[in-house]
Chains A and B, each alone.
Chain A
């Protein structure tokens, strides 16, 4: 007779996908795929992971889509409240801390979301913030999260930070970074089954937020 094993319904699901953010001197590039999956099945090929919060700030979330939807809805409501009280939009730094505390308030039943918050700060510089599920935040030059994050991070470490490289190479400009993000997402789409279909690229700079889409493999 086999030993008893406890079976329980889990309130969490992993809907897959990958997102990334890279900060430049006066801009940020955010890239995320649009595939929604559960296990080996695809829910939909065309579902955005990114929500625009202000004229200068977007948030991209990987993990469980339902928690991401609720979190983004909650943050958008807080944006409205902030604008009513302060007569202006919140800065990226203010939103960053707000997200951290919002996540920690659910410390004992977390939002299963792995967030990347990107924008242009009050000094005009590109800002990227990386979070864990319970609100640990860190401002970083670039980051990634989601099922393909391990694959992405190594490439960004090599191409942007140029860690552990002794041969000097020129650093990338705005267009170069956008092309790099496209290449990285394509490569992740090859190796990670949960990443693919289409990708959204957001470019945030002094002129505002512009979005482009491009195709990834559908397999």
Chain B
């Protein structure tokens, strides 16, 4: 609901200002909404990623009204598990392919250990010309056996 709402606000900005909204402004619009509803029970962790005049930016916005700019974030019940894999493999100089693989692997590990996470992995690449769906929907069960095979394990030990 709120992301659809943010979509409308960003479009209104474009119509009024005749200019694409910045990532900082878009993320702040959302963070301010969450701040207004603070304590009323909304539950949401979001990554606002985009390109603007300052280049690529990533903001993490959550239901507390927190908004942080950064290069690496993980959010949700399985976030701690994802951080482990993410922080081990991360460097600013990763190529797109390496980053996509790191993201996929981090999500897989989170789904493996967190009971509340699972299903499929989707990975999106946000770039100057917009966004591309890099991985459409890979079943984590399949990834489990794939990563096990890389270590010469069967995956059901």
Contacts and interface: CB of A to CB of B under 8 A. Distances in A.
A108 B37 CA distance: 11
Interface string A95-123: 00000110010011000000000000000
B40 interface: yes
Nearest to B41: A108
B1 interface: yes
Contact of B40 (A100, A101, A108): A108
Contacts, number: 8
A104 B44 CA distance: 14
A135 interface: yes
Nearest to A103: B1
B6 to A, nearest CB: 14
A107 B41 CA distance: 10
B1 A135 contact: yes
B23 to A, nearest CB: 25
Contacts of A104: 1
Interface residues of A, number: 6
Nearest to A105: B1
A135 B5 CA distance: 14
Nearest to B40: A108
Nearest to B141: A164
Contacts of B41: 108
Interface string A49-76: 0000000000000000000000000000
A100 B4 CA distance: 11
Nearest to A97: B4
A107 B63 CA distance: 15
Contacts of A108: 40-41
Contacts of A100: 1
B139 to A, nearest CB: 11
Interface string B1-25: 1001000000000000000000000
A104 B37 CA distance: 14
Contacts of A107: 1
B121 to A, nearest CB: 17
A194 B110 CA distance: 38
A107 B2 CA distance: 12
A104 B5 CA distance: 12
Nearest to A100: B1
Most central of B1, B4, B40 by chain A CB within 10 Å: B1
A101 B1 CA distance: 7
Contacts of A101: 1, 4
Contacts of A135: 1
A107 B40 CA distance: 10
A102 B77 CA distance: 28
A104 B2 CA distance: 10
Contacts of B4: 101
A36 B40 CA distance: 33
A135 B3 CA distance: 13
Name the 8 nearest CB pairs between A and B, nearest first: A104-B1, A135-B1, A108-B40, A101-B1, A100-B1, A107-B1, A101-B4, A108-B41
8 contacts: A100-B1, A101-B1, A101-B4, A104-B1, A107-B1, A108-B40, A108-B41, A135-B1
Given A100-B1, A107-B1, A108-B41, 5 more contacts: A101-B1, A101-B4, A104-B1, A108-B40, A135-B1
